[in-house]
Amino acid sequence: MPTHFADRLAAAVRTKGNPVLVGLDPRVEQLPDALKPSDPTEPASVAAAYGEFCRGVIDAVAPLVAIVKPQSAFFEALGRSGVAILLEVIGYARSRGLLVLLDAKRGDIGSTAEAYAAGMLGERSPWGADALTVNPYLGDDSLAPFVSTAKDRGAGLFVLVKTSNPGGKTFQDLTADGQTVYRHVATLVESLAVDTVGSCGYGTVGAVVGATYPEQLAELRAAMPHSWFLVPGYGSQGGAAADVAAAFDASGLGAIINSSRAIIFAHARKDYAGRFTPGQWQQAVEAATREMIDELRAGTTAGKLRQA
């Protein structure tokens, strides 16, 4: 496998033939009944349930997709028990051949940023993540330690540029020096991508751009031709294949499309009612993943990945 993150991601996406990213966002109240902890107020019990659940999701999707995205907050909320389980989940996903994007949205300056990067990024780090989400709003020097560590360890970064939440426009859409704030961030991210470009044409540094703003997604793809996009907002947040089509290049590369709740809690979806018994929650996860793969293949250039 290539050692450059963007090349590893491109190779894995081509191998699986689709750009689906499965988010691991466990919530105790939405777990399958058989996995719900006996005491939902006891962190260690909930953490153990999260571990079993996430390993089950990973087993269901590992043959189908290239990458998963644990959301650190749901584990961190449980204290040391949750953090320990998160580390196990990351290791388990990697053992199943998946790339792991840790969604922790870190951002700081100087030695603090260096510590975050050293702890979380790369196979030889304590956390072992292949990539990390980072917040750019402390400025370019806050990204530098993350970029340096990512380059050194063959890891990747996804910088918040245009997020999928409605409140993102509060700051991101403000105009400064004739451009929106998100375009200023995009310019910086693209320059970092160009400086770290791999043989696939994309750089170590990518961007988080939401599916809920299709016009801005198209605008940013044109402005950031060397940046991998992490696209949240698909599925439960309302995004569909048509909304994310502009994220891809002509060959079907350039973007990974995240779905969390619509896949991992598919057993509770109304449109799946009657198709799966309570004990078949993993089959529901697999079915939802395959459904998303088919939608993206039919509605975007990701359909070309099967021919690559």
So which residues are the catalytic ones?
A: 105
Identify the three-state secondary structure at position 101.
strand
Please tell me the distance from the alpha carbon of residue 172 to that of residue 180, in angstroms, as a whole number.
7
Provide the pairing of β-strand 255-259 with 229-231.
parallel
- 179: which residues sit within 8 A by CB, 6+ positions away? none
Query: Any idea what the Cα angle at residue 115 is, between residues 111 and 119, rounded to 5°?
Result: 170
The CA radius of gyration of the chain, in Å to the nearest whole number, is 18
Q: What is the DSSP string of 122-137?
A: STTSSS-BSEEEE--T
Nearest-10 Cα torsion for 107, 224, 72, 118: -50
Tokens of 258: 């995240």
**H helices present in the chain, as ranges:** 5-16, 43-61, 72-76, 80-95, 110-120, 140-153, 169-172, 181-195, 214-223, 241-244, 261-264, 281-299
Please tell me the distance from the alpha carbon of residue 15 to that of residue 230, in angstroms, as a whole number.
18
